[in-house]
Structure 1
Amino acid sequence: MTNNEHNLLFRVVSKSLKYFLLALVGFAIAYVVSIILGGQYIVIPLLPLVRDLILRLGIILFCLMATAIVVESLR
């Protein structure tokens, strides 16, 4: 009988991707609300820091996802 359950890495990456995308939506909503309420003097200096953090986390998540896909296909 075959086992259709995904391995641990695949499950962790899929949950991480879900929360990463939810965090991106949350940052977008917070940015729009802060611009509407006049907080652009606080938000604009923080954008390079947040952008770099999101970019690095996205690259790490993409590499983990690629690794999980390769491991699943070899199994």
Structure 2
Amino acid sequence: MNRNQGSRLFRLASRLLKYFLLALFGLAIAYVVSITFGVVNIALILPLVFDWVGRLGLILFCLIAITVIFESLR
């Protein structure tokens, strides 16, 4: 195995982090566009969105912590 190549767990964690951050960026753009066009219904689903984003962020943080521990033991 090449030392510069990460393990499968590291690649998975980095890929999930990339898509999580892209989803947050997309949600931010959708929120700004909806505010610009005056859509009021977006405010009704914000608590649900924040709940899901928080939970997914916590799961991703735990996965990254596990990856850091395994990579440091390697």
Per the normalisation by structure 2, the TM-score is: 0.94
Alignment root-mean-square deviation, CA: 1.0
List gaps (5 residues or longer) in structure 2.
none
Look up the match of 1:64: 63
Tell me the CA shift for residue 3 of structure 1. 3.3
Q: Which runs of 4+ in 1 moved over 2 A?
A: none
Look up the match of 1:36: 36
Look up the match of 2:23: 23
Aligned length: 73
CA displacement 1:18-75 (0-9 Å, x = unmatched): 01001100000000000110112x1001000000000000000000000000000000
Percent identical pairs in the alignment equals 56
